[in-house]
Amino acid sequence: MPKDTADEAPQSQNIETDFCIIGAGAGGLALASAAAAFGQRVVLIEKHKMGGDSLNYGGVQSKALLAAAKRAYAMRTASPFGIRGVEPLIDHAAVNHYIDDVTAKISPNFSIERFTGLGIRVISAAAKFVDRSTVVAGDYRITARRIVIATGSSPIIPPIPGLADVPYFTNETIFDNTGLIPHLLIIGAGTTGLELAQAYRRLGSRVTVLDNAHALGAEDPELAGALITRLSDEGIVIREGVQIKRVSGTAGKIVVELQTNAASETIEGTAILLAAGRKANIADLGLDAAGVKVTQTAIKVNAGLRTANSHVFAIGDATGAPRYAHVAGEHAETVLRRSLFRLPARAKARIAPRVVFTDPELATVGLNETEARAKYGRINVLRWPYHENDRAQLEHATDGHIKVITSKHGKILGAGIVGAEASELIQMWSLAISQGLNIKAMTEWISPYPTLSEINKKAAFRYFATVPSNPFLRKVIALLAKLG
């Protein structure tokens, strides 16, 4: 007689642990390794690829592609250095191989073997809550003192008529492309859209970016505008404020119908990439059973990243925080401080830099001008252009400027840089804001000559240009001059 199938099903194994972490991306991996280092028993559950978005189809791949594209651009534009520019021969399959190679070199740091070696129990399955302190994953039933949701985010598929019937790329598939895309249409002029627009443009594609609002709409318009001008100068077509009415076609011939003010038009491309934002991966997690509350788009957490269930934390893209690998990593530190050391740690979004890794880069930290004015009223805005910097001149990288925002009395509130190496230059402003420094401190260090970092100091000195307009200080200076 055949056995009852229920009898054949494997018995679920019960595991009791200190930390159960759902998701092995930037946040989950950072927390798992740190908690294990402090002697905690850790279960880490991943349903897909170790490393999450950042390692598999995000930061690593897009920056590797941009690095290849930068080489191609440098070959075309070498003539100011006395080297005749040439049109590079681009082997798209080899570029794709380069991305895979970089990924392969980094991935051992994120492998199951490495984490198992750290004493972490890694389970390859989808996790789901069954009650407030229990998660099931595959054949396992895990009860933990603390459960951490680190499930990341996925690309939004916008509700555009016809889209479901045409082939499209997202960040999860575009890095598998191995050929020239003659005309790439990109929906969304945010960070993803513009980074990939420049990479593809420099690697030989025509690129059209379509946005129903503003390109880089969350950034300071002055800095974003400078970048958008540069991207347009390279031949990337960026169309803002356009409504996409319908998409149709097949692989190699995609037609987009647009509505702009009163007119309609069609644009034809050979492929389409969706870069229209992200949504948190929170469906199918059984959050109701866990008593975890959500907003419309993400998991609700307090400043210490605790959810409505005090045993459950959420970190990284699954929360409403800015979506960056380093933010997810910083969240991991916050949870560790809270849960192991009982410290009143809070997530530090205020000091997390945001970088668009185009060329030139756009890097910002803290408040922008509009936010600072709204919060503090009178502020100082200090600027310094790249073309006044000797290193920028000799590198032929003179486009761009820095913009620093301070309170009336010089407290540093924010900084933004559009220009070469902005992602490196911004870091001392993150330190300055984290330490509550006054702008004076940013004039009291020595910058080696010739470096781009001198731009940071020059901008800081601009604060004192406001002094002569202060009548009190003018009197003091006049008095001191007489005494001298």
Ligand X SMILES: NC(=O)c1ccc[n+]([C@@H]2O[C@H](COP(=O)([O-])OP(=O)(O)OC[C@H]3O[C@@H](n4cnc5c(N)ncnc54)[C@H](O)[C@@H]3O)[C@@H](O)[C@H]2O)c1
Least separation in angstroms between CB 152 and ligand FAD: 2
Query: What is the footprint of ligand X within residues 405-424 (CB under 6 A)?
Result: none
**Is residue 168 within the footprint of ligand X (CB under 6 A)?**
no
Which residue's CB is nearer to ligand FAD, number 353 or number 414?
353
Residues making up the annotated binding site for FAD are 63, 151-153, 317
Minimum CB distance to ligand FAD smaller for 58 or for 414: 58
- Asked if residue 357 binds ligand X (CB under 6 A), the reply is yes
Structure tokens at 65: 């592609």
**N-term to C-term CA, the chain:** 109
Q: Is residue 54 a contact point for ligand X (CB under 6 A)?
A: no
166 touches ligand X by CB under 6 A = no
Tokens found for residue 344: 């009143």
Task: Give the burial class of 339: count Cβ atoms within 10 A of its Cβ; 0-12 exposed, 13-18 middle, 19 or more buried.
Answer: buried
Site of tokens 């651009």: 73
187 touches ligand X by CB under 6 A: yes
Backbone angles phi, psi at 69, to 5 degrees: -65, -35
Pick what 328 binds: ligand FAD, ligand X, none; C-beta below 5 to 8 Å, kind-dependent: ligand FAD
- Decide: is 312 part of the binding site for ligand X (CB under 6 A): no
HSE-CB of 117 using CA atoms within 13 angstroms: 7
Cα separation, 118 vs 446, whole angstroms: 42
Choose which of 119, 221, 225, 277 interacts with ligand X (CB under 6 A). Answer: 277
Residues forming beta bridges with residue 381, ordered by sequence position: 405
Residue 208 or 453: the one with the smaller Cβ distance to ligand X is 208
- Cβ nearer to ligand X, comparing 311 with 354: 354
Binder to ligand X among 73, 115, 324, 386 (CB under 6 A)? 324
**Residue 204 in tokens:** 């030989």
CB of 197 to ligand FAD, least distance (A): 12
SS3 of residue 245 by DSSP: strand
Positions touching ligand FAD (CB under 6 A) are 22-28, 45-49, 52-54, 58-59, 62-63, 126-127, 150-152, 171, 192, 281, 285, 316-318, 323-326, 328, 357
Between residues 149 and 256, which has the closer beta carbon with respect to ligand X?
256
Q: Which does 150 bind (CB under 5 to 8 A by kind): ligand FAD, ligand X, none?
A: ligand FAD
Tell me how far, at minimum, the Cβ of 483 lies from ligand FAD, in Å: 53
Could you tell me the strand order of the sheet in which 253-260 lies? 243-250, 253-260, 263-269
State the nearest-atom distance from the C-beta of 466 to ligand X, in Å.
33
Q: Which is nearer to ligand FAD, 47 or 346 (CB)?
A: 47
**In angstroms, rounded to a whole number, what is the distance separating the alpha carbons of residues 363 and 355?**
4
Least Cβ distance, residue 217 to ligand X (angstroms) = 5
- Whether the CB-CB separation of 433 and 351 falls below 8 Å is answered with yes
- Annotated binding residues for NAD(+): 188-195, 277
**Cβ-based nearer residue to ligand FAD, 56 or 208:** 56
Chosen from ligand FAD, ligand X, none, partner binding at 188 (C-beta under 5 to 8 Å by type): ligand X
Site for ligand X in 214-243 (CB under 6 A): 217
The set of residues, in sequence order, having a beta carbon less than 8 Å from that of 78 and lying 6+ positions away, is: 84, 85, 86
- Least distance between ligand FAD and beta carbon 198 (Å): 13
Kindly give, in sequence order, each residue whose CB lies less than 8 Å from that of residue 217, ignoring residues fewer than 6 positions away: 190, 211, 224
Residue 134 forms beta bridges with which residues? Answer: 131, 143
Residue nearest to ligand FAD (CB): 25
Residue 322 in contact with ligand X, rule: CB under 6 A: yes
- Name the binder of 189 from ligand X, ligand FAD, none, CB < 5-8 A by kind: ligand X
**Shortest gap between Cβ of 431 and ligand FAD (angstroms)?**
18
277 binds, among ligand X, ligand FAD, none (CB under 5 to 8 A by kind): ligand X
- Which H helix or E strand runs over 195? helix 191-202
Choose among 59, 106, 3: nearest CA to 326: 59
DSSP state at residue 81: G
Distance from C-alpha of 39 to C-alpha of 337, rounded to nearest angstrom = 14
Q: How is the chain split among helix, strand and coil, in percent rounded to 5?
A: 40, 25, 35
Give the type of residue at 102. V
Site for ligand X in 188-217 (CB under 6 A): 188-193, 195, 210-213, 217
Which residue's C-beta sits nearest to ligand X? 190
323 binds ligand X (CB under 6 A): yes
Cα 324 to chain centroid, rounded: 4
244: exposed, middle or buried (Cβ count in 10 Å: 0-12, 13-18, 19+): buried
Token code pair at residue 4: 């009852």
State the nearest-atom distance from the C-beta of 361 to ligand X, in Å.
9
User: Among the candidate windows 142-150, 260-268, 272-280, 403-411, which touches ligand X by CB under 6 A?
Assistant: 272-280
Closest CA to 71 of 359, 426, 407: 359
DSSP state of 165: G
Q: Pick what 219 binds: ligand X, ligand FAD, none; C-beta below 5 to 8 Å, kind-dependent.
A: none
Binding site for ligand X (CB under 6 A): 158, 160, 187-193, 195, 210-213, 217, 244, 275-278, 322-324, 355-357
